[in-house]
Chain A
Amino acid sequence: MSFLKLLARNRLALGGLVVMGIVVLLALLTPILPLKPPNITDTGNRFLPPFSDGALLGTDHLGRDLLSRLMWGTRLSLAVGFAAALVAASIGAAIGIVAGYYGGRTDNVIMRGVDMLMAFPYILLALAIVAALGPGLMNALIAVAAVNIPFFARNIRGITVGIAHKEFVDAARLSGMSDARIILTEILPNVVPVIVIAMSTTVGWMILETAGLSFLGLGSQPPVADLGSMLGEARSALITNPHSSIVPGVMILIIVMAINLLGDGIRDALDPRLKSGALNRPLPATLVAPTRQPESQQNEGILTLDNLQTQFHVKDRVYRAVGGVTLSVKPGECLGIIGESGSGKSVTALSVMGLVASPPGLITGGSVHYRGEDLVGAPYRKLRTLRGREVAYIFQDPLATLHPLYRVGDQLIEAIRVHRAISREEGRKKAIELLEAVRIPNAASRVNDYPHEMSGGMRQRVGIAMALANDPEVIIADEPTTALDVTVQAQILSLLDDLRRERGLAIVFITHDFGVVGQLCDRVAVMYAGRIVEEGPTRAILDAPRHPYTAGLMACVPELGGGRRRLEAIPGLPPAVDDLPPGCAFAPRCDRATEACRAGEITLDRAGDRALRCIHPVEPQEAAR
């Protein structure tokens, strides 16, 4: 159902579908329509113009009714085109799947054969096949199908190679499946959409090719006509009686245009990457809802978030990713934000500089103050000068954030040049300095490396160097060590710690790891379902967590040196942020929850340097147990 909806959203594709539907319907109904017989000659009435009596579209050089010939010809052309597409797709897909699944020598032999087929110009190949088999519509079909097999084989092979190495194929093998069964039940269902896409974009082409062969007299044989042979027969009268060429020509144009528009629509609707909105170009800054209420700055700090709310509006659902977060960070301070996936910690971080993709992201309330100035709703030009220069980001996966085709040095220079004009020489010197600052050995030669030439830890150092490029005041690090090995993680953490002491950086460090928070952060905020449930100095919270979620989460994490043991688990799952319960979001998983917890809003109450959103907190003596 959603497929048709997606298709219908594309107006051109919908138009193509309607036109194609009418053409196919008429072609199907041709035998029962009150048409003149298509092949009866009537030389007395040759070349009647269109709209003549008894011949709506006129007649051809033998006085045959053009309307009737057009309908029968369309029927034949469509049938041959679709049949050729089906044959080419089936054989091509079979070849592609076998080559892609077995790989190695099988793949090599098959695909080199396919390559040889592709080495000939297609029309030459088709002509050769027809010449060998003799003219005739059936042979034209075979020729067109054969010529298109390589296209399908290559396409499907590529997809199959990707699927054959997926874990579910290994799992199927371990379930006792034979190769043939894996191909039929595991691989095939996953490549069918690709086959359909490839077919939908080539059917039009195949109809044209068949028409081409018929035009040359190698396809349908007189007196039976398809659109191509109609054109061929009318060729000699092109100047004197153009209507006999125009009629089949327009029909070919209509069919191929309609099929191609429809095919593009089908491809867009079926392609999972396009379905997820990859074609939607996000705006340069996150949208701000007109109903947003700005908040005044509530805490001291170079960067403060004041009751910030960010939502995702997808169709008719509203995901409250960030539901009113208030935080602050001072120069030289490291603030940790800890939470599980879906807790809104990354969206909080991205909202600061308006980096949440819009659509579907939308900041619906609150403010972000940088040096006392509200950034939410600030003009894009303003945000752009601040991004990287004042507030810089470090992301989780350095391989994804570095451009694979540029040297790391050039990428560093680019990051500097965005904000100030410097010469290449100066830029290079600065880039080497930056790499030295993040303790990359041999910085002067490493500056010429491509990202793939570096290890994960080195790449993350480059990511940090890039964040430092313009001497920012605040660094927001979103799980910067999650993708790294422990020995490398330890080095990156100690590097960040030194940098903030040397440069007085304010760091917002997002993680799911209590060990990391405990070592690096001065203060920590625990997030659950888009809200802060507890906040305070790291030591105090780790020693005596008050919120049951914090306490539960800490108990879940095994600590090295504890030996073999049973771990505490929090039952249930985090709530979906498009369907939050009233009251405390943690209540359904909490063993201390009472009616009051579920009844209404629980506020974040501040006492001294700690804040807590719970009415039945864990008492310090309980936690000490």
Chain B
Amino acid sequence: MTTPALRLEGLSKTFPLGRTLFGPERPGVRAVHPVTLDVMPGETLGIVGESGCGKSTLARMLVGLLEPTTGTIEIEGAALDNADPAVFGKRIQYVFQDPISSLNPRKTIRQIMDAPLKLLHGMDAAQRRARIAEIFETVSLREEFLDRYPHEFSGGQAQRIGIARALAAEARILILDEPVSALDVSVQAQVLNLLADLKARLGLTYLFISHDLAVVEAVSDRIAVLYFGSVVELGRAEDIFRAPRHPYTKLLADSAPVVGRPLTAPEAKETELPDPLNPPTGCAFRARCPRASERCAAEVPMLAEDAKGQAAACFHPLGG
């Protein structure tokens, strides 16, 4: 069996609330419940979920911008060590959601591109120039952009620059955190296709995070659905929305606007997310779930695979 490109084991994050002036220390807010996932080399794992489900917290832990509370991260078989930014940046990189705000407004594109080449790979000026030219060619950007400042670019161009910067580190794993959410649809497709080409050409592994089900489905091999900080379903991209097993996945799939489908609210009840300060017992989805039973309130369901390898964390999965 091949070593996974990325292996998360029991990874969780709890944000401390701090103590009140006189009271005892309060329990923290659990943003990500223990998550165990493998991403194979060359695979694209999609992660979908609604706002507040913990997908960005998860992503930021993977690139060392947040310290996990429990669990381990292994990259290509070796434990993640974020002590030295110069080592770590070469193994995993991150593409940000907002392309403009991820570029320092007071630096030229060349200065931005130089940083990873100089600091991670110790290249001299001539080497850097050659390498930047090569990368810009790959992401179809013109070299004359290099001496401009970020505000002169449109969202799509800025996102290409963000991708170029991530490529400059030569990491083989990219975490893409909503890379196209800020872009117009006609430009979104350009960037998605660029990402697909890069992956095929450079043998990259992607973790693709998005709230847009259709986009995730179009780019991913496997998809993990996140709800309230937990993976509730994990399966092949072509199956997961067509034949969901977890009721939440089904709700998501039914909510996505599809041309020609009559307009009905897929659920009648109040769709409040559970309160993170006062999390429910058992399954976090049970208050919204038509299939909820007493068992759902008592125990937390674990991810369990069915015969086809589609895993759902549900005591009463659909279609089986």
Contacts and interface: CB of A to CB of B under 8 A. Distances in A.
A177 to B, nearest CB: 6
B149 to A, nearest CB: 12
Interface in A443-473: 455-458
B251 A487 contact: yes
Interface stretch (A137-145, A325-333, A565-573): A565-573
A560 B256 contact: yes
Interface string B24-62: 000000000000000000000000001100000000100
B85 A177 contact: yes
Interface string B110-122: 0000011001100
B215 A519 contact: no
A493 interface: yes
A298 interface: no
Contacts, number: 198
A168 B120 contact: no
Contacts of A168: 101-105
Interface in B241-290: 241-242, 251-267, 270-273
A486 B212 CA distance: 8
Interface in B70-125: 85-86, 89-90, 93-94, 96-98, 101-107, 115-116, 119-120
Contacts of B168: 175
B237 A176 contact: no
Nearest to B95: A171
Nearest to B267: A487
Interface string A494-535: 110100000000000000111110111000000000000000
A490 interface: yes
B265 A512 contact: no
A173 B65 contact: yes
Contacts of B192: 567
A486 B211 contact: yes
Contacts of B263: 493-494, 497, 519-520
A34 interface: no
A341 B100 CA distance: 15
Interface in A20-59: none
Nearest to B119: A176
Given A168-B104, A558-B217, A173 B252 contact: no
A182 to B, nearest CB: 9
Nearest to A485: B50
B153 to A, nearest CB: 10
Interface string A171-204: 1111111100100011001100000000000000
B265 A519 contact: no
Contacts of B221: 564
A489 interface: yes
A591 interface: no
Given A173-B65, A174-B89, A558-B215, A486 B260 contact: no
Given A174-B94, A563-B237, A490 B119 contact: no
A167 B187 contact: no
Interface residues of B, number: 77
Given A515-B256, A518-B257, A542-B259, A176 B115 contact: yes
B189 A567 contact: yes
A175 B165 contact: yes
A175 B120 contact: yes
B193 interface: yes
B185 interface: yes
B148 to A, nearest CB: 15
A490 B265 contact: yes
Contact of A190 (B105, B156, B214, B237): B105
A227 B259 CA distance: 79
A186 B106 CA distance: 8
A558 B218 contact: yes
B162 to A, nearest CB: 8
Contacts of A557: 185, 214
B257 A172 contact: no
B186 interface: yes
Contacts of A159: none
Contacts of A493: 257, 263
Contacts of B318: none
A562 B217 contact: yes
Given A520-B263, A562-B217, A553 B238 contact: no
B259 A514 contact: yes
B184 interface: yes
Interface string A572-597: 01100000000000000000000000
Contact of A573 (B166, B187, B256, B260): B187
A441 interface: yes
A596 B192 CA distance: 33
Contacts of A458: 272
Contacts of A175: 89, 115-116, 119-120, 165, 168-169
Contacts of B93: 174
Nearest to B261: A519
Interface in A272-329: none
A563 B239 CA distance: 8
B217 A519 contact: no
Given A189-B106, A557-B214, A177 B237 contact: no
A519 B254 CA distance: 13
Contacts of B267: 487, 491
A167 B256 CA distance: 29
A283 to B, nearest CB: 28
Central interface residue in B63, B86, B106, by most chain A CB within 10 Å: B106
Contacts of A378: none
A461 B238 CA distance: 34
A489 B219 contact: no
A566 B200 CA distance: 13
Given A174-B89, A176-B115, A571 B272 contact: no
B297 interface: no
Given A175-B116, A573-B187, A518 B258 contact: yes
B190 interface: yes
Contacts of A455: 272-273
Central interface residue in A173, A176, A441, A456, by most chain B CB within 10 Å: A176
A518 B188 contact: no
A223 interface: no
A380 to B, nearest CB: 35
A174 B169 contact: yes
Nearest to B116: A175
A487 B266 contact: yes
Interface string A535-560: 00000001000000000110011111
Contact of B85 (A166, A178, A514, A566): A178
Nearest to A516: B257
A246 interface: no
Contacts of A571: 190
Contact of B259 (A173, A485, A515, A567): A515
28 contacts: A168-B101, A168-B102, A170-B94, A171-B96, A171-B162, A174-B85, A174-B166, A175-B89, A177-B115, A189-B107, A485-B50, A486-B211, A493-B257, A494-B263, A512-B184, A512-B185, A515-B257, A518-B257, A518-B260, A553-B186, A557-B214, A558-B218, A563-B237, A566-B196, A569-B193, A570-B189, A573-B156, A573-B157
Given A557-B214, A560-B256, A569-B189, 12 more contacts: A171-B103, A173-B85, A174-B89, A175-B165, A175-B169, A178-B85, A186-B104, A520-B263, A556-B188, A558-B217, A564-B220, A569-B187
Q: Which 9 pairs, one residue from A and one from B, show the smallest C-beta to C-beta distance?
A: A515-B257, A518-B259, A176-B119, A569-B189, A485-B50, A167-B102, A175-B115, A340-B184, A490-B255
